Amino acid sequence: METLSPRQSDILAMARRDGRVTVDGLSAHFGMTPQTIRRDLNELCERQLLKRTHGGAMFPSGVSNLRYDARRTMAADGKRSIGRRVAELIPDNCSTMLNIGTTTEQVAVALRAHEGLMTVTNNINVANILRDAPGVDVVIAGGVLRPFDGGIIGDATVAFLSEYKVDFAVIGASAIDPEDGTVLDYDHAEVRAARAILTHARKTILVADNMKFARSAPLRIAPLTDIDIFVTDRPPPDAIRVLCGEGGVRLEVTETEEDPDP
């Protein structure tokens, strides 16, 4: 799927900030015709990044997740920079666990050059990314395969993951509460797998782009203070920075080269 145009990314950011946008308002803001803005909104809605309303569009609610291929296009540069930074934090000759998520997939891409790495995952996309990496052994969790995102979930998955004790766990999330730092997701089975991954690692890494602070999800994975390292692409809200400092969470902000001044 093609990435968003700069104008579409700006429209998405405005909708996330304000809750909704209008064709007339966007037309005046960008100096574009209403027809051009409608095409942008239609494409964003087709990707399920926005929901169409009369005269405009709104940001989706926090009770259902976006389509997986649509999530891949959101903050794509930031996710790549997060993946590269996490790969720098993980040495050769160690073991890792990676869960479901488009950001953890970028971590897998950056780990392909590692040597002596064992990766346990319940993400079939991560397994495919790493399957022919010469220095990486891939272990795939058993369970039920979800066709829409390649996630492997269920009781068998949790039991399988619980058999391991790895050096590094890398998990993504659908949302992070900007006030208290609660790490959130939508699916109960996915949350159970993420918790099992966190429990069975010596060091835990949370990967999340800045858009996760503008979203909400109904299920708790863990408090941020249970995480050892938090890697994100933009400076988080002040409350999160304070929480990381007080809770001993190492905060890593990558700030992508394309937009170094958020």
Per-residue pLDDT of the chain (262 residues; tens, 9 = 90+): 457 788 988 898 788 777 789 999 999 999 999 999 999 999 888 887 888 888 999 877 554 445 555 555 555 888 999 999 999 999 999 999 999 989 999 999 999 999 999 999 999 999 999 999 999 999 999 999 888 788 999 999 999 999 999 999 999 998 999 889 999 998 888 999 999 999 999 999 999 998 888 778 889 999 999 999 999 999 999 999 999 999 999 999 998 444 444 3
What is the CATH code of the structural domain delimited by 71-253? 3.40.50.1360
Confidence at residue 72, expressed as pLDDT on a 0 to 100 scale:
52
Confidence at residue 58, expressed as pLDDT on a 0 to 100 scale:
85
- The string of pLDDT tens digits covering residues 152-187 is 999 999 999 999 999 999 999 989 998 899 999 988
Q: In what order do the strands lie in the sheet with 250-253?
A: 136-140, 117-121, 95-98, 166-172, 201-207, 229-232, 250-253
Q: Which of 92, 86, 153 is nearest to 118 (CA)?
A: 92
DSSP secondary structure, 142-181, as one string: PSEEPTTT-BEESHHHHHHHTT--EEEEEEE-SEE-TTT-
What are the structural domain ranges in the chain?
A: 6-60, 71-253
Confidence at residue 77, expressed as pLDDT on a 0 to 100 scale:
85
Confidence at residue 15, expressed as pLDDT on a 0 to 100 scale:
82
Copy the structure tokens of residue 248: 């001993």
Rounded-to-integer distance, Cα 74 and Cα 244, Å: 25
Confidence at residue 176, expressed as pLDDT on a 0 to 100 scale:
94
- The string of pLDDT tens digits covering residues 75-107 is 588 899 999 999 999 999 999 999 998 999 999
Could you tell me the fold of the domain covering 6-60? Arc Repressor Mutant, subunit A (1.10.10)
Confidence at residue 65, expressed as pLDDT on a 0 to 100 scale:
47
Confidence at residue 262, expressed as pLDDT on a 0 to 100 scale:
37
Confidence at residue 69, expressed as pLDDT on a 0 to 100 scale:
54
